[in-house]
Every structure is written in structure tokens, then in C-alpha cells.
Amino acid sequence: MYKQLVACLLLATLAQGTIFERPCRTNVEALKDFQVDKYLGLWYDLEHYEASFEQNTDCVTAEYSLNADGSIRVFNSAVRLTDGLLYAVDGLALLSYPEAEVLEAKLNVSFYGAPNDESNYWVLDTDYENYSIVWSCEPLGEERSLEYYWLLSRTPSLPEDEELQEKIEALKEHNGIVDDELIVTEHFAEGCNNKRHGAV
């Protein structure tokens, strides 16, 4: 019975993100000199690796705001494709290394009040006004890894700026983001316009 329970928990864990037959890469770096205040606000999820908590959803957004104690409120929401209803969840983000001389864009994000001492939300690059590239990786033994990736935008689609598009593609390639694994989020489907803010 114990072994069966462990197996079920393991499968549940593995279902959370996208599994790669490679270890977590050590050449991925988060943005330096992170400006938290400029990062706050509403972001639209444009594309991501498959994750169980985003399956069968569209109109996905994430809204970040500052709590009185200096922590960051994370308000995620999406429209479920199964019934068209809004799904929303509140979370908390803390800077992973707040005392560092040069602040890195690494955060510990958790939901449902669960404690989290893992740095699981890395902003690889952002201009704060148009896009953000977010990544996270958990090792699964020595040769496999569980990765998360999001391309976020301040608007439901990126500006039609060829230079910006090329920069984002170069950043994805540099950081090993695999196009074959990407899921594109729809923001113009029926129901999106009626969604309150907030998701990833």
C-alpha cells in the first residue's frame, strides 16, 4: 500500500510540468538588477510549456501587486474551456535572495498558503513594458528534469515589432526553449473579454 501511495504521488508530481531527458541546465541565468516595482501589474500568458494547472484553459493572465509586508501577491486566472467559467487562484511570491548585492530576478512562488523555500520563478529577461521570459527547472534524478516556461506580455499579443520578435526568439534559443513543446494561449476567444484581470 505504501509503495502504491508513493507511486501515485510521484506520478502526480511528474504531471505538473514538461519532462525533458536532460538535467537542469547550469548555463541559464536570471536577469540581474531586477526592478520589482516595474515588474508589478498585469501580464498575459502568450505561450508556455505544458503544465497540469493550465490544461484546457485560455485567457490566462497573471497580476502581481505589492503586499503591505513587502511580499508580492500573485493573482492567476484563466477561462476553463470545459465550461467557460473563470478559474482564479491567489499566491505569494518572495524574492529568493533579497540580500544579494545585485538583485537577481529569482522568486519563490507558492499557492494555497503552502510554504515554499525553492527558487521556482526565474525571469530570464524582460523590458518591463512589453515582454517577460520566465523559466523554472526541477531535477528528476541526474538525467531528467521538469521544466516550466512562459512568455508573458503586457498586452494580449506582442507588438508588431520585428526587432522585438527577433530578440525574443534569440533569447529563447539561447536559453534552450524547445519550440516543439510550446502551447500557445488564446486571448481572443469567446469569454476572454468578460474575464476579470488576473493568471499563469
Q: In this predicted model, what pLDDT tens digit does every residue of 51-81 receive, in sequence order?
A: 776 777 888 999 999 999 999 999 999 998 8
- Mean pLDDT across the chain: 85
Kindly tell me if the per-residue pLDDT of 195 is higher than 60: no
- Tell me the CATH number for domain 18-184: 2.40.128.20
Decide: 94 and 107 in contact? Cβ < 8 Å: yes
pLDDT (0 to 100) of residue 164: 95
**pLDDT average, residue stretch 92-116:** 92
**pLDDT average, residue stretch 165-190:** 88
Residue 133 pairs in a beta bridge with 125, 151
Kindly tell me if the per-residue pLDDT of 161 is higher than 90: yes
**pLDDT average, residue stretch 170-188:** 89
Least confident of 60-69, 78-87, 124-133: 78-87
Q: Report DSSP letters for 44-65, one per residue.
A: EEEEEE--GGGTTEEEEEEEEE
pLDDT (0 to 100) of residue 143: 92
